[in-house]
Amino acid sequence: MATNESISIFSSASLAVEYVDSLLLRTLYKNHFKMLGTGQPRWLSSLIATWGSLIVHEVLYFLFCLPGFLFQFIPFMKKYKIQKDKPETWENQWKCFKVLLFNHFCIQLPLICGTYYFTEYFNIPYDWERMPRWYMLLARCFGCAVIEDTWHYFLHRLLHHKRIYKYIHKVHHEFQAAFGMEAEYAHPLETLILGTGFFIGIMLLCDHVILLWAWVTICLIETIDVYSGYDIPLNTLNLISFYAGSWHHDFHHMNFIGNYASTFTWWDRIFGTDSQFTAYNEKMKRIEKKMQ
């Protein structure tokens, strides 16, 4: 009888300890965990959304700039350079690099820090199970590209207005011949104004954190390509219908007027802001025919 009572007492004590332990664990971790499919801790979600996004941006940006940077040392690639009479200089590239670091860490990083709060507020998932299929991911990235291109065209065109050009956008046009690293070389206000177009698509279409990183990747590939300063014949991006490409944007830096879109050519075509570009191409074709 005494043995049974002892067992009952120990059993009750064990249950009590388990209950207290469970209560303590829930209390300790209540403010540190958020269930996002896989139940990762809140600090890990913040780390992924904020610093993960920053690392993705920085690594991809300079990685995609690397080929264009190396082209200047390869004699064979000079024939593909659009403005052959304006080679890159170490002085310009170093100046560009310093401004990029300032823009990336003092302007863009605070915006990236808001990524975590955005994903938390709208309950954007991180987990593998809810990751969208690749074709849905591409479709949403295309939607983001259309939105960004539309925003960029009208705001970029506005920044060229004579009353405000010298205060903001003139910084970006400091280099008449574009080169890859110059893609995000701009006045801090321009970084905010034109950069807003990148986030609009995310706010409207994001259903998983992977979309943010996929869109960053595609956006950087396209942006650095159009700023490369080289017209590469085998560039697969040129197979995309209405894709602007490096020649289209390089003319904008050379001419300053027209070709305001970032990715596609349809807005310039609709509003006739590519007329000088078209006339220039026709003129160059006539010159080539005479030289043959």
- State the Cα–Cα distance between residues 19 and 260, nearest whole angstrom: 65
Q: What is the pLDDT of residue 29?
A: 35
pTM for this prediction? 0.81
Answer whether residue 14 is part of any domain.
no
Answer whether residue 13 is part of any domain.
no
Answer whether residue 87 is part of any domain.
yes
- State the Cα–Cα distance between residues 23 and 18, nearest whole angstrom: 9
Whether 20 shows a pLDDT value over 50: the answer reads no
Q: What is the pLDDT of residue 221?
A: 95
Answer whether residue 83 is part of any domain.
yes
Answer whether residue 3 is part of any domain.
no
Amino acid at 189: L
Answer whether residue 23 is part of any domain.
no
Q: What is the pLDDT of residue 194?
A: 95
Q: What is the pLDDT of residue 43?
A: 63
Residue-wise pLDDT tens digits, 155-208:
999 999 999 999 999 999 999 888 999 999 999 999 999 999 999 999 999 888
Mean pLDDT of 43-70: 85
Q: How confident is the model at residue 41 (pLDDT cuts 50, 70, 90)?
A: low
Q: What is the pLDDT of residue 111?
A: 85
Q: How far is CA 38 from CA 33, 128, 176, 199, 238, in A?
A: 11, 9, 50, 26, 40
Residue-wise pLDDT tens digits, 110-150:
888 887 788 888 888 877 888 889 999 999 999 999 999 99
Overall number of domains in the chain: 1
Answer whether residue 206 is part of any domain.
yes
Residue-wise pLDDT tens digits, 79-113:
999 999 898 899 999 999 999 999 999 998 888 88
Q: What is the pLDDT of residue 243?
A: 96
Whether 233 shows a pLDDT value over 60: the answer reads yes
What's the domain range around 76?
A: 41-291
What does pLDDT average to over the chain? 84
Q: How confident is the model at residue 32 (pLDDT cuts 50, 70, 90)?
A: very low
